[in-house]
Amino acid sequence: MRAVVRRLLVLEERHSAERNKLGLTPAEVGRERICRWRAAETSRPYEEVLREHIAKSDAFWKNYDGDGSVVDRLRYHFRRAAVDARAQAATSKV
């Protein structure tokens, strides 16, 4: 696991400041591709899909208070998913 963490840190340092010709980060490019694909699949406007995606992302990360590293974000993602699963299980039992 330490090797994976170390590799993620190296990749993060190397690619965090990269931007394409339009000034977008790799994360923004990925988000746009996902939203364009979803818009095409559902026959909905791209802007609407993008707004929904950003709103979901903002809601997911609103309680994040970590250091911003890739490893810390992955930890938060898995902790948050476990908490959401437990909450959903609790509501389905009621």
pLDDT per position as a tens digit, 18-76: 777 888 877 888 899 999 999 999 999 999 999 999 999 888 888 888 888 878 888 89
Q: Are 70 and 12 in contact (CB under 8 A)?
A: yes
Please report the pLDDT score of residue 45 as a whole number: 96
Please report the pLDDT score of residue 74 as a whole number: 86
Q: Does the pTM exceed 0.85?
A: no
Longest dimension (CA), the chain: 52
Please name the residues in contact with 15: beta carbons below 8 A apart, sequence gap of 6 or more: 26
